[in-house]
Structure 1
């Protein structure tokens, strides 16, 4: 099942945090960022894809190093729609940030310094989308460990390793789902 399918499933599951309002907030943040930096939607979509791939890699490393629960706690702590430089520094080293900016600049034509300036907004937005699969506090939990897991995060981390997860596609599908084709 694809990432957006997991997000829709989380929206329809009262024991998970996802909501249509959360998706609207994410879309609005991406749109405002695009407007603020005078980037067109296709460039922003490309940038979101690149940032999403780097976030996935960073979260996979975090999961390998610290375990699943710590990775989920990181997602919960740093997700949002407000700038948060700690989300970036908690996931990437300074050299990884520069590598991401250079790679994204080559792919999008954007200035690498501008990309670095956008990261404190883009990374929390990606994490916000991933948080949508988290359990609602005090929600009934079955006794199996898999029911405690964030299905959106699991899908994003792509347990089967086929690499077929794209955050920009999920955000674009969210816009279509909500009848907002701004991204």
Structure 2
């Protein structure tokens, strides 16, 4: 639940791109993805958890290769688009995202390793994972982009940094974050 608190912190920080509307768009994108692919809530949470768990070491390696988290955040921002919920988020439902867009951030051999790891964690076959990734990865990248500074502000991406922090192993489950976000958004407002 630690990463979810980082999301709430980003929502409450006017210098970061996160917002309640953005979080709502993110959970709606996950629901649309699940519906389009015939996945129930449990399978969707398992898939997103596996994607996050498998993506984390890849992104840690890329952060090291890129010279730090801020350089990786810049690459991810380009991948996700300037608007944290625009661009690629609209493509989630259409499924027209091209995996080749990932080549600059995640080389092909790392993509295959990512697919194999997710397949092992979820029990889904690798070809199914490969077909789902073009829809799942934009959601995940846009999620991380919520921690990016707003235009005109400088600073790092504490949401991405928290996810990559190796000391928080049990607190970085993206499936749990999406589950808590859904509960948070559906809670009665007082």
Q: Which TM-score band (shorter chain)?
A: 0.7 to 0.9
Q: TM-score, normalised by structure 1?
A: 0.83
**Residue among 156, 159, 167 paired with 1:161:** 167
2:112 is the alignment partner of 1:98: yes
Cα offsets for 1:127-170 (capped at 9, x unmatched): 1111111111124x5xxxxxx12111110111x53412111111
2:188 is the alignment partner of 1:174: no
Provide the rounded CA distance (Å) in 1 between the counterparts of 2:22 and 2:149.
15
Provide the rounded CA distance (Å) in 2 between the counterparts of 1:87 and 1:23.
24
Where do residues 1-80 of structure 1 align in structure 2 (5 Å cutoff)? 2-67=2-67, 68-79=69-80, 80=88
Equivalent in the alignment of 2:159: 152
Superposition deviation, residue 87 in structure 1: 4.8
Equivalent in the alignment of 2:143: 129
Provide the rounded CA distance (Å) in 2 between the counterparts of 1:18 and 1:162.
21
Superposition deviation, residue 84 in structure 1: 4.5
Superposition deviation, residue 43 in structure 1: 0.8
Provide the rounded CA distance (Å) in 1 between the counterparts of 2:4 and 2:100.
27
- The number of residue pairs the alignment matches comes to 172
> Could you say what the CA RMSD is over the residues aligned between the two structures, in angstroms?
2.1
Provide the rounded CA distance (Å) in 2 between the counterparts of 1:30 and 1:46.
12
* Stretches of structure 1 lacking an aligned partner (at least 5 in a row): 142-147
Contact 2:11 2:19 in 1 (8 A): yes
Equivalent in the alignment of 2:126: 112
Contact 1:55 1:91 in 2 (8 A): no
* Stretches of structure 2 lacking an aligned partner (at least 5 in a row): 81-87, 92-96
Contact 2:55 2:114 in 1 (8 A): no
